[in-house]
Structure 1
Amino acid sequence: MTDLPRRAVVRSAKLATVPLGFAGRTALGLGKRLGGRPAEVVTAELQARTAQQLFQVLGELKGGAMKFGQALSIFEAALPEELAGPYRAMLTKLQDSAPPMPTASVHRVLAEDLGPDWRDRFERFDDAPAASASIGQVHRAVWADGRDVAVKIQYPGAATALMSDLRQISRVTRVAAGWVPGIELGPILDELRDRMAEELDYRLEADAQATFAEAFANDPQFVVPAVVEGEQSVIVSEWLEGVPLSQIIASGTQEERDAAAQLYLEFLFAGPARAGLLHADPHPGNFRITPDGRLGVIDFGAVSRLPDGMPPEIGELLSVGLQGGAEALLDGLRETGFVRPNIDIDADRLLDYLEPFLAPLRTDSFTFSRDWLRSVFSHINDPRQPNYAIGYKLNLPPEYLLIHRVWGGGMGVLSQLGGTVRGREAVNAHLPGAHLPPVGSTD
């Protein structure tokens, strides 16, 4: 058995322990309920244990399993504290770490993509990886012209392993779907599968990174490393120093959190406006604060192409909703396909249902927090809420799917940061169709 099939078998075996473990815990939970323990207590224990096992398994894997774990990790802020606390460090680890591949494999990939004389392209190359990603790892090096560079190298056999992981994760989603209220695991997995071919071709990623780097060249707020070389399985780009956003989430001061949150929010809006691309992988491992205070952005394997920027309908709908125009908002949502023509829905109830998403823009500044995000999930997913059924009447047009996922993930990261941001200012500056006057203005 070669290394690749052996690793795939090990991954499959580890992923299989999640549904098997869940089944055992469910049987144990049933016994406890029959023994008189309250059902909600038993359910909370099952959620906690299943979530802990899920992240422990994902944390040991690369490929699709790690990508799936990274996608989930940005929603950690929505978990009740009693569930999130015991494994928050485990989630953070998923965002920026993985076991390294053998040095011989690293050299083999470099020889295949850069040629047998690949060492001549560098003044120095560090065999020990400086960082790990889901389908590759990064090495620090010095390019032949003296520039410090990051060399991102794809794991050999990543495509085969990724497909195997995604098939196995499909089993996990069927049993773990309820561990975080309001997070639909199936669509996250579908999105990863749809993007897989594009992310595996590093040449496409290099093109996207180069586009961002050109759009933000010499920018006072943002920095994207220039691409030096881009091949099928290797990207060489300029080295970027900085403090990872995950570190600021873990131990940053409030001032650092506020500054990072503002930059992070503005970049999500500014990318489509200036580069015609939406950075579609918003987890904290892809962002860092540079020594000069800018937001550094890396990893452009997942992007959404928006050559004309964000659809202006989004800004227009936000403006209408914030002005309290319930009927106008419903009409706009029908026109854009968010409400199908044959669906009967009360406009005022719809506006109330969407209020948590409008709230961060009702004031000139807003503080995101874990408590706030948990309240949002409760508002839209608690069957006891009067407007709970509204969610089932809404539709998400395919062209808005990735935008929706990025904004949802972005709110998760902002809530982890706990930063205060000037959201109205950012929206007015970067979102077409938006016109949000200062709070208290008669405009």
Structure 2
Amino acid sequence: MILPQELIRQKRDGGALDPEAIKAFIAGFEDERVTEGQVAAFAMAVFFRGMTSAETVALTEAMRDSGDTLDWSGLDRPVVDKHSTGGVGDNVSLMLAPIVAVCGAAVPMISGRGLGHTGGTLDKMEAIPGYSVTPDNETFRRTVRDVGCAIIGQTGRLAPADKRFYAVRDVTATVESIPLITASILSKKLAAGLQGLVLDVKSGSGAFMAKEEDARALAEGLVAVANGAGLATTALLTRMDEALASAAGNAVEVENAVRFLTGDHHDGALEAVTLALAAEMLVLARLAETPDAGRAMAAKALADGQAAEVFGRMVKALGGPGDFVERMGAYLPKAPVVREVTAESAGHVAAVDARALGLAVVELGGGRTRPQDEIDHAVGLTGLARIGSQLEAGDRLGTIHARSEDAFARAAAMLRAAYRLSDEAVAAPGPAVIARVG
């Protein structure tokens, strides 16, 4: 095996790494012959120097092969999933999994925690008392079989190398690397035994790939690697110029999702992205002939309440309250300080720094600055003003849910700084779905 420091040196100096050396490096990380510091240095070298296609494939396969591969051959439903590259207020998974399950697919959704300024689906689900994101394999399989979907985290034996690598990237400013993102996403999905995968690749101020051309390059690379590995995959480029939902945090995004499923409240862009992704999943599952037909199926599952029912059944099956959908207010944690932040002058919302909103949630305690940090599920932002909105002085920019007055004050300053108002009328953003790849 090449010494870890020599492999890091080669990549630091722009060299192409031997696939077997990459696989040995990842294996060394697993058995602790390679340290977290060396992984951080390797990730930084890759961030600046990139990887060839062959190197990326080797890294992906090494992470996939570090654990078990799931087998769904006994299931009588097509098995599909979705992955998002991360955003602010992106709680799509919570609605998407039950919607697609109602339409006849199985969705074993293996999700991640917050990364950098973006929220994590697992952190959101853990805001629900009793809900287990790490069930035993039998419970996981039974839930997928009986309910149709299960949102969980990586088991200890599913791409375990990626799980540790992911935690290091989160706190070392090495998230925005196409090869590392590709390997992280696809190692888990290839190990999950899927028949189809849809990728939601974000572009805008709240995305890791802020520029559309970078997001498109990531989408094209992901689709090429996944399809080359035998996993039928398409991608949607979606807009992340502001928080996708009007809430950002953990419990507050769960509440937003339940209100969406029950028809109590729909954020327009959130609905558009959710239904578009559902349509793509149903086409890959061969349950719909066209995206338009898939979207109609998904809209019906949402409108008639079946998706909300499936979400409730999933929560119960994975240890949460049996009446969570009906009584979520009695179960979700609440912050002691809840107060509006208002506009200091009149104007039209011209732009929002969505990344700054995500960092405000982290500042409140709803995200991590170290892998071992505990999440405060109660804190976050709600009622966020949307681009194009006309505000008067004193109108709400957003509501902050904080643990203390000091935390509220820090987050309020960040929230105000994230908004740019204009004296002139501002058009609403373009379509939430920018393009399809694949």
TM range (shorter): under 0.3
TM-score by length of 1: 0.26
Judging by fraction of residues, say which structure has more helix: 1
Q: Could you say which structure has the larger radius of gyration? A: 1
Q: What TM-score do the two structures reach when normalised by structure 2?
A: 0.27
